[in-house]
Amino acid sequence: MNIVITGSIAYDYLMTFPGRFQEHILPEQIANLSVSFLVDTMVRERGGVATNIAYTLALLGERPRVMATVGQDFEDYRFWLEVQGVDTSAIKTIKDEFTASFFVSTERDTHQIAMFYTGAMAHAHTLSFKDLPPSISEVDLAVISPNDPGAMVQYAAECQALGIPYLYDPSQQIVRLSGEQLRAGINGARLLMVNAYEFGMIQEKTGLTQRDISRQVEILVITQGERGSEIHAGGQSISVPVVPPEHIVDPTGVGDAYRAGFIKGLALDAPLETAGRLGAVAAAYVLEQKGTQNHCFTREEFVARYRQHADDNGLLDAMLAA
- Give the catalytic positions in this structure: 256
Query: CA quadruple 295, 300, 303, 308: dihedral positive or negative?
Result: negative
- Within 217-252, residue ranges assigned H as helices are none
DSSP-derived secondary structure for 268-315: TT--HHHHHHHHHHHHHHHHTSSSSS-----HHHHHHHHHHH---TTT
CA-to-CA separations, 2 to 63, 64, 95, 165, 190, in angstroms, rounded: 8, 7, 29, 11, 16
Nearest to 1 by CA among 92, 134, 136, 129: 136
Name the region of 68 (left: φ>0; alpha: ψ -120 to 50; beta: rest). Answer: beta
Element spanning 69, H or E: strand 65-70
Q: How many CB atoms lie within 10 A of CB 81?
A: 23
What does the alpha-carbon distance between residue 34 and residue 25 come to, in Å, rounded to a whole number? 9
Residues pairing with 231 in the sheet: 221, 238
- Collapsing DSSP to helix, strand or coil, 146 comes out as coil
Displacement of CA 209 from its chain's centroid (Å): 23
Nearest to 217 by CA among 183, 256, 243, 188: 188
Q: Crossing angle for the helix pair 179-187 and 196-206, nearest 10 degrees?
A: 110
